[in-house]
Amino acid sequence: MMLCLVGLSAARGRTWHDRNGQEQVDADFGDLNDGRVILRMPDGSTIAIPLTEFSKADQEFIHKEVERRRAAIRAQVKTRPGTIRYGKARKLCELQAPDVNESSGMALSRNRPEVFWTHNDSGDYARLYAFDRRGKDLGSCEIKGAYAYDFEDMASFTRNGKNYLLVGDVGNNGLAAAVQILHLVEEPPIDPARGVAVKKVPQAQTIHYGYEDDHRNCEALAVDPATNTILLASKERGALCRIYMLPWPENNPKKVFSAKLIATVNVPPATGMDISPDGRRAVILTYSHAYEFTRRRGEDWAAAFKRLPAEIELPPRRQGESICYGPDGKTLYLTSEKRPTPLWEVPAVQENEQLQR
């Protein structure tokens, strides 16, 4: 049993009991994340204990407190200028491509707005797959000169009149790698009848980077063309993730650039990310729901990530790790790493009239 802390001097917060009613500890409730309860001790330290180790009364309290907090957050942000209210998700189709078995990243095509791109997680070639809203397999192409160690996410954007895809070989589960790789390609052409029109696509740029403070695991990236920056969200244990910014670097594949920490946000482990084409919103995906941050005019992302996000309720997915905005810059699309691979659409129902200045 893990509640063996009664010898500590603690006089504040709730008194917690184990499932047998024999041990107890005084501490503040921090959060519930991935089945583990975060307790904040009187000395400021935290401990994580499986929810199942608590008494039935404590478990009921935890569930009610988590829902109370979520309701308070939803009430606080739902009337904020620029916040979007989303409707109920609907399943559009299942992907027909037989080789897409772990759809880990997803991006909207800028050449053909009815088309999406995806890639597999580790274990595949450096290959990009195209499909439409009906799940039709539109073929694939390989990134020339790239090797897929652990592809985790991708982004599409337009810059200087050209449409690009940025693919992140950024997975680092063991936290052993100090350098990660981003592959930039011009979006491959797609023939309306025959699908992807090339077998291989050359790299426009290869970016090597590390994090300024430590080794990080990352499964979520996005590009803001308005500020010419790359955002990366780390995947952490516990109810937080770290947001890093990488200003678009010079085209020097021999140099390792540094991603700067700009914010720490209280969301569960991040598995995907995207920025709306107008640069106003950033959405972070988790295995359960998504969290949307809205940026005011003239504001940088560091400031935007300091505010509470809007929580977006999503349907249950088996290992959902991909998300992107649709052509309208509001509607969201999701896939999953497990087959059969569903394509979900989350419609934007209403947007508050204007962003705060």
DSSP character string of 46-77: EEEEEGGGB-HHHHHHHHHHHHHHHHHHHHHH
Domains of the chain, first to last: 14-77 (2.30.30.700), 85-351 (2.120.10.30)
From the number of C-beta atoms within 10 Å of its C-beta (0-12, 13-18, 19+), residue 22 rates as exposed
CB of 100 within 8 A of CB of 321? no
Q: Cα–Cα distances in Å, from 162 out to 165, 187, 225, 253, 325?
A: 10, 8, 11, 21, 19
pLDDT at 80: 66
* DSSP code of residue 214: S
Instruction: Name 103's bridge partners.
Output: 120
Residue 6: is its pLDDT beyond 50?
no
The whole-angstrom separation of Cα 66 and Cα 72 is: 10
Q: β-pairing, 256-265 with 205-211?
A: parallel
The whole-angstrom separation of Cα 332 and Cα 287 is: 15
pLDDT at 5: 38
56 is written with which tokens? 């039935």
Instruction: Name 108's bridge partners.
Output: 116
Spatial CA neighbour of 235 closest among 168, 161, 187: 168
Q: 0.85 cut: is pTM over it? A: no
From the number of C-beta atoms within 10 Å of its C-beta (0-12, 13-18, 19+), residue 271 rates as buried
The whole-angstrom separation of Cα 74 and Cα 80 is: 10
The whole-angstrom separation of Cα 159 and Cα 226 is: 9
pLDDT digits (tens, 9 = 90+) for 261-294: 999 998 989 999 999 999 999 999 999 999 999 9
Per the model's pLDDT, the better-predicted residue between 281 and 3 turns out to be 281
Rg (CA), the chain: 21
Q: The tokens 């599409």 sit on which residue?
A: 156
236 is written with which tokens? 């952490």
pLDDT band at 118 (very low <50, low <70, confident <90, very high): very high
Spatial CA neighbour of 175 closest among 236, 263, 258, 259: 236
Q: What is the mean pLDDT of residues 293-311?
A: 93
